[in-house]
Chains A and B, each alone.
Chain A
Amino acid sequence: MPDDLSTSAENTWCPGCGNFGILSAFKKAARKLEERGIDREHLVICSGIGCHGKIFDYLRLNGLYSLHGRSMATVQGMKLGNPDLKVVAFAGDGDAYGEGISHMIYAAKRNADITVIVHDNGAYALTAGQFSPTSEKGFKGPSLPNGSVEEPLNPLALMLEAGASFIARGFAGKIDHLSDLMVEAILHEGFSVIDVLQPSVVFNNTYKEYNERTAIIAQTPRSYEDAIRLAKDKGTQVPIGIFYQVSKPVYHKELMGSWNPVRDKTARNDRLKKIKEIL
């Protein structure tokens, strides 16, 4: 349904793709954020390259279509440029945990005040179904017809270790829940990441599995150790919700205090006055 957050771009995702759920959840989140005082002009988006990246074309919001693996780095620059913005990076699992994994680790380490939404479909979908950093061992795709011999990454445990201050998992099939997670993540001050289980109906159709197995976490783990334990849990249920949230100093404030390069820029006349003084 076209609405005021839609664009005129033709949607080319496959019918039934989990990305539709993420798009709907994000639109809902953007509206909820408006109710909470964050207007659209201050919500800036960025995406990597992949099927997920097309979300950039479908959202009537400001931003930048970045490179494969780089949206997480790009939004860090946006945030430093104008800390009043809420910046959101969309990424694929290939993007975030492969090509651009160093940006994830360093954004978490420095607690950059950004939100990363990872469309985790366990495959490189846009390039037609190759195995990705989160593909299960044995995953067969055109780059590995006999199946991958590698263990998948555990992104939540990795992000916890790297120092992320907000970590969540969502499911593209549970839109309202996902949209609430997005709101919380964007409002969180510090590095927030949501690993979204996203079925690719063509290359890794996980709808049935996740419809059956996902279960909302009753209560956010109280300690880091509990969060790690939950992230590494390999039970029959796949927990979704907030795994960890903690308040820590954020990067731009450590760097610049409350100074905002856009808002607090020296006025032209004052700059000229200073130049005259020097001259």
Chain B
Amino acid sequence: MSIVIDTGNRIAAKAAIMAKPDVVAAYPITPQTTLVEAIAEYYAKKEFTGEYICVESEHSAMSACIGASAAGSRTFTATSSHGLLLMHEMLHWAALARLPVVMCNINRVIGPGWNIWVDENDSISQRDTGWIQFYCSSNQEIYDTVIQAFKIAEHANILLPVMVNLNAFILSHTSMPAEIPEQRTVDDFLGPYIPGWKLDIENPVTFGNIIGPDSYIKVRYAMQQAQMQAKQLIPQVAKEWKKHSGFFHGDLIEYFECEDAEYILLAMGAIGAESKIAIKELRSKGHKVGLARVRVFRPFPTEDIIALGKQAQLIVIDRNISVGNEGALFTETKAAVSGIPETSVQGYIAGLGGKDVTYQDIETMVEKAMTGKAAHQLWYGVEEDR
């Protein structure tokens, strides 16, 4: 075991190569570039001995991963923002063909209105592709999640691609310490990828055939079943990883000061991490508040959120907006607790376009929600600028 201080991107790259993928295919985009370039460095130094290919677009990157995965390879890629959007149809393909590709996505704003800072509209807009989605909040969590992502994706009951999201710059380019286990530990934990079926000349199979309505609905049903099973498997895999590495990341939700909380804040990504400071501050003022940091957005942790809704009033901060409706976490949280009569859910949209969301901002949002004066969903940082 060693402790390294490095950026989220470089830690993600370290995790990716320690999982020993057979194929990495990528196309550059800020702020993902330094992740793939770290892999390129390992490749150049022969510390990563899989195939590494620089392709001509993100559509090609995901296509190459799909081909490699179908041929039985462990595959990894990384992208961000417009790159992720250009992959869109191949994201569906990978999931429908049940190919366990693992990808890091660095959450970045979508243009125009060109901007390279963080928000989560890129990955949230891909939530219906069938990919499992994680949102990290520290570099240690990035490391642990990338390793576990391979285990989850390749599990015989799951066989779905996994997207590990990290917020642009706040995580991708910020150095933090992370404990990196020995290669042996990762090898023992992951083992090789043994596909249930693959492109094999000895035993030919085909992927992506034409199928009629009776079969197609079953394909979707099976994907849904796999996602539901992942809710159980994700914490199990985390526990297993803890046995190997000593670290626990984690459940579908990370709970902080929730035991006696009367108000619980739900947030994802870096806002989730910043919220811990806000919660401490609010507690020091005597407020019974807690934080539920949603780590896994797909599968959606409905049962856990119902439990929270039975205990406390919920406040949601979204760094994304489904224009024409609401923030995605807000909508899905409300849907989860809709059967619980006394629960109220207040929502905020904050931090779009990389606008800073500090712990003071979070305190302000929570305090306002606690007065009961907050509207159904408010935009934080728009009114105040007027």
Residue ranges of A at the interface with B (Cβ–Cβ < 8 Å): 49, 65, 67-69, 98-99, 101, 124, 126-128, 130-131, 133, 142-146, 148
Contacts and interface: CB of A to CB of B under 8 A. Distances in A.
Nearest to B46: A146
A149 B56 CA distance: 14
B30 A143 contact: no
B57 A98 contact: yes
A148 B44 CA distance: 12
Given A68-B82, A143-B36, A143-B40, A127 B57 contact: no
B29 interface: yes
Given A65-B114, A127-B33, A128-B33, A144 B56 contact: no
B260 to A, nearest CB: 49
Contacts of A99: 27, 56-57
Contacts of A98: 56-57
B47 to A, nearest CB: 12
Contacts of B33: 127-128, 130, 142-143
Contacts of B54: 130-131, 143-144, 148
Given A143-B36, A145-B44, A133 B56 contact: yes
B107 to A, nearest CB: 17
B28 interface: yes
A68 B111 CA distance: 11
B365 to A, nearest CB: 33
Interface in B130-187: none
12 contacts: A67-B82, A69-B57, A99-B27, A101-B56, A131-B54, A142-B37, A143-B26, A143-B33, A143-B37, A144-B40, A144-B54, A145-B40
Interface in B19-77: 26-30, 33, 36-37, 40-41, 43-44, 54, 56-57
**Residue of B28, B29, B30, B44 with highest tally of chain A CB at under 10 A:** B28
A275 to B, nearest CB: 31
Interface string B109-121: 0011010000000
Contacts of A146: 43-44
**Interface SS of A by simple majority:** loop
Contacts of B29: 127
Contacts of B56: 98-99, 101, 133
A56 to B, nearest CB: 10
A157 to B, nearest CB: 18
Contact of B28 (A65, A69, A124, A148): A124
Contact of A127 (B28, B43, B44, B111): B28
Nearest to A124: B28
Interface residues of B, number: 19
B3 to A, nearest CB: 26
A65 B112 contact: yes
Nearest to A142: B37
Nearest to A100: B57
Contacts of B114: 49, 65
Given A49-B114, A130-B54, A131-B54, 18 more contacts: A67-B111, A98-B56, A98-B57, A101-B56, A124-B28, A127-B29, A127-B33, A130-B28, A133-B56, A142-B37, A142-B40, A143-B33, A143-B36, A144-B40, A145-B41, A145-B44, A146-B43, A146-B44
Nearest to A64: B112
B81 to A, nearest CB: 10
Nearest to A69: B57
A167 to B, nearest CB: 22
A103 to B, nearest CB: 12
A49 B44 CA distance: 29
Contacts of B37: 142-143
Contacts of A65: 112, 114
Nearest to A140: B44
B25 to A, nearest CB: 12
A169 B54 CA distance: 27
Contacts of A128: 33
B28 A143 contact: yes
A76 B193 CA distance: 47
Contacts of A142: 33, 37, 40
B90 to A, nearest CB: 15
A106 to B, nearest CB: 16
Nearest to A126: B30
B5 to A, nearest CB: 21
Contacts of B43: 145-146
A148 B40 CA distance: 12
Listed from nearest, the 3 A-B pairs whose CB atoms lie closest are: A145-B44, A142-B37, A127-B28
A65 B54 CA distance: 26
Contacts of B112: 65
A159 to B, nearest CB: 17
A105 to B, nearest CB: 13
